[in-house]
Structure 1
Amino acid sequence: MNNDDPLDKTTEISGELTESGIKGKTNLRALAAIDRLLGNVLDYFNPRLEDKARVERAITDGKVLIIEALAQDRVREVGRSRDYKEINTIEVVRESIKELAAPTATNNASDETDVEIDPDWLNYFESYSEKASTTNMRSFWGRILSGEIRRPGSFSLTTLRVASELTQQTAKDFQELVKLRMDGFVFSSEKEPRLGFDALMQLQAAGLIQGVEGTGVIGTPPTTDGEKYPAVMVQSKVVLFHTKHDIAFSGYILSAAGEELAALLPIDAQGTIDFLVKSAPKVAKITLNEIRLLSDDEWEVGGEIAILKSPKPKDDDN
């Protein structure tokens, strides 16, 4: 298969969509976005179907006839004209389907919303994604598209603009920095900075973080309702500091755009836990606990999973 042939690439998209298992409203939005970004193939294909209901069934079932039509018509034209902007867009769409179909991708109630992707959002997205000529940037924009397909409104137009202006180095630095984070806050130590000052200033100038000047913003973790111990949620676990004293950690606040983009990137859970333990040397006992979810916005500390730091003899921080 010719890796530079857009027809081959879109045919691969066909197969990936067939095997993806993407269903429900997410699938409808995915096909609508693909149709908008890769050409009006719904109009091309519609006469071959008996009625609108049959079109909807084809989409909902994950059929790829629409994409096959694109492969037979639209992309042949793209290949002849060597329109690399459209080739870039095809690759971005392909990456988004991979992301939607990934085993780690889970459907939830918000995925089943009836809200559609804003057409203006797709217009802006297309103008940015068509410039993604490298594998990393195509993957990056593909994740943005898949995130918007899952939950329309996840990425503002401001965030799209910020993302479009990132250099590869700044994007790489951002990905490294947000590995250790809690909500809209990234952890970093002045004594052991995770990035150089110039790199941090670039991230701030790009509109991703705030508070670089000076020593950084101080973040204080919330106190649990039970034993009144400070606690930090790290993914599906809680780091619990067995002390009645306040605890603060240094770091930087994510901007609105930074927080939206950080949601695309993984958290280094173990690295975050290690950083938290190391940053609280005066706390005698630190444990890793389960989380008991009370609602979408509320949680409490559950049972102890592991002791991260044990009190020394005669050590009483409480």
Structure 2
Amino acid sequence: MTEPTDSPIGIEVNWSQNGFSAKLRSRLLSALDRFGATKIEQIGLDAERQVATHRAMTDAHLELLTAAASEVGSEIRNDPKLAQKALAAFARAERQTENIHGSVVAAIEDLRDHPASDVEQEDAPEVLDPDFMNRWETYAGGATAEAVRLKWGQILASEIREPGTFDLRTLRIVDELDRKTAVAFQTLCEGRIGGSVPNLLRNLSPVEISDLEEAGLIVAGPRFILPEAIDAPDGSRWWAFSNASVGILISQKNPPSLLEVVKGQVKLPVTTLTQAGRALSSIFSDNEDAAFRRLFEILDQDGVGAVKFGWVVDRTLVDKARPD
């Protein structure tokens, strides 16, 4: 696909400010072209997301109606039920178009508010997978509620950022989620660190956990993370649990009572996300640093210094006694 230019696309998006990579821009523009969104009238993305049927769609309807009337005019005149069916079909197509465009606008807003890095893998595709687009279009076409349009917009944005995040099975799982289970999963993901959630950060009932397992978003059964054992410069021994920027140290001499130590290794119970769960979690804000802060506060309840919190600098945790 040829590299897109910076020409207007009918929706106000500041490409240079967002710093999108060329391939990401190509994927977005190909999606807009597919759904006719390049012809949507200018709208304020900060205002309410109310997308009227654009002029091109109206013109297409008129042309289609004219052609249909010419082709089956006599049949419609002689069969009022057929005329009603034809009008219902056009109305349904118009609603689906409005739903899709509403979801596309939500995707653009999400990309604008959460721009991706301009560094991208060389083998990343320039267009989205047609099977994904076909299935996404089906689901987004039925998104009459604003919250549902937002969900499918976020999914499209996530797939544009990182193609292959949502496979067809995951799209089906997301479509079948009831609102209660979806809210429970979003709550769970507030404590997500990588592909799992420490059980100490779960704020869900056993019934909600069971629902998430049944929905295929989390793995049934106990799972554990085994933090890495390290030696501090003063000779003390710790277990380290961190991501690329922040983490905690757990004392080997006096570990918190909330954690189990088996054969000299501390075990941190976690709830693991499935592939579908990891994909769906990508539409939520990244709260890993906040999750580490919460985990530190829970483990450090007795205040005896058995846990330290800090930032990772050159593979060394810089101690910070308590978070700001």
1:199 aligns with 2:195: no
Give distance in 1, aligned partners of 2:32 and 2:316. Answer: 43
Residues 78, 86 of structure 1: 8 Å contact kept? no
- After superposition, the Cα gap between the structure-2 partners of 1:158 and 1:276, relative to the gap in structure 1 and judged at 3 Å, is farther
Alignment match, 2:148? 137
2:31 corresponds to: 33
Q: Distance in 2 between matches of 1:271 and 1:89?
A: 35
Check the 8 A contact 2:240/2:248 in 1, yes or no: yes
TM-score, with normalisation over the residues of structure 1?
Answer: 0.69
Distance in 1, Cα, partners of 2:293 & 2:231? 21
Maintained 8 Å contact 1:25/1:112: no
Cα distance change, pair 114–270 in 1 and its aligned pair in 2 (3 A): closer
1:229 is displaced (CA, Å) by: 3.0
- Please tell me whether residue 307 in structure 1 is matched to residue 321 in structure 2: yes
Question: Which residue of 2 is the match for residue 290 of structure 1?
Answer: 311
SS at match of 2:227: coil
Match of 2:56 among 59, 73, 79: 73
Query: SS state of the match for residue 143, structure 2?
Result: coil
What are the superposed Cα offsets for residues 257-285 of structure 1, whole Å, 9 maximum, x if unpaired? 10111122124433542234424668733
Alignment of 1:57-72 (within 5 A): 71-72=54-55
How far, CA to CA, are the matches of 1:275 and 1:199 in structure 2?
21
Q: 1:151 to 1:225 in 2, by over 3 A?
A: farther
Is the CA contact 2:251–2:306 (under 8 Å) kept in the aligned structure 1? Answer: yes
Residue 196 of structure 2, aligned match among 168, 172, 185:
185
Query: Structure 2: which amino acid aligns with 1:248?
Result: K
Residues 199-226 of structure 1: CA deviation (Å, up to 9, x unaligned) = 11111111000125xxx43333344587
Aligned counterpart, 2:97: 86
Judged with a 3 Å threshold, the aligned counterparts in structure 2 of structure 1 residues 88 and 188 are, in CA distance, closer, same or farther, namely: same
- Residue-by-residue CA offset, 1:29-74 (whole Å, 9 max, x unaligned): 10101112347x79xxxxxxxxxxxxxxxxxxxxxxxxxxx93312
- Are 2:281 and 1:262 equivalent residues in the alignment? yes
Return the letter of the residue paired with 2:226.
T
Q: Cα–Cα, structure 1 residues 307 and 122, in superposed 2: closer, same or farther, change >3 Å?
A: same
Distance 1:247 1:136, change over 3 A: farther
Q: Residue 161 of structure 1: SS of its match in structure 2? A: helix
1:101 aligns with 2:126: no
Q: Could you tell me the percent identity over the aligned residues?
A: 24
Which structure 1 segments of 5+ residues have no match? Answer: 1-12, 43-69, 294-299, 310-318
Code of the aligned partner of 1:31: L
After TM superposition, the score normalised by the length of structure 2 is 0.68
Q: Structure 2: which 5+ residue stretches go unaligned?
A: 1-8, 40-52, 63-86, 254-263
Q: CA RMSD, aligned part only?
A: 3.3
Residue equivalent to 1:15: 11
Q: Deviation per CA, 1:73-131: give whole Å up to 9, x if none.
A: 125557994421211110110011011111x4232322775513111111111111212
Counterpart of 2:269 in structure 1 is: 250
CA distance in 2, matches of 1:224, 1:93: 48
Q: 1:234 offset after TM fit, Å?
A: 5.2
CA contact (8 A) 1:110 1:150 kept: no
In structure 1, the residue matched to 2:225 is: 219
Q: CA, structure 1 residues 37+255, in 2 after alignment: closer, same or farther (shift >3 Å)?
A: same
Which has the higher Rg, Structure 1 or Structure 2? 2
Residue matched to 1:236: 245
- AA aligned to 1:98 is E
Aligned AA (1:250): P
Say if 1:223 and 1:160 are closer, same or farther in 2 by CA, change over 3 A: farther
Write the distance in 1 (CA, Å) between the matches of 2:252 and 2:191.
Answer: 23
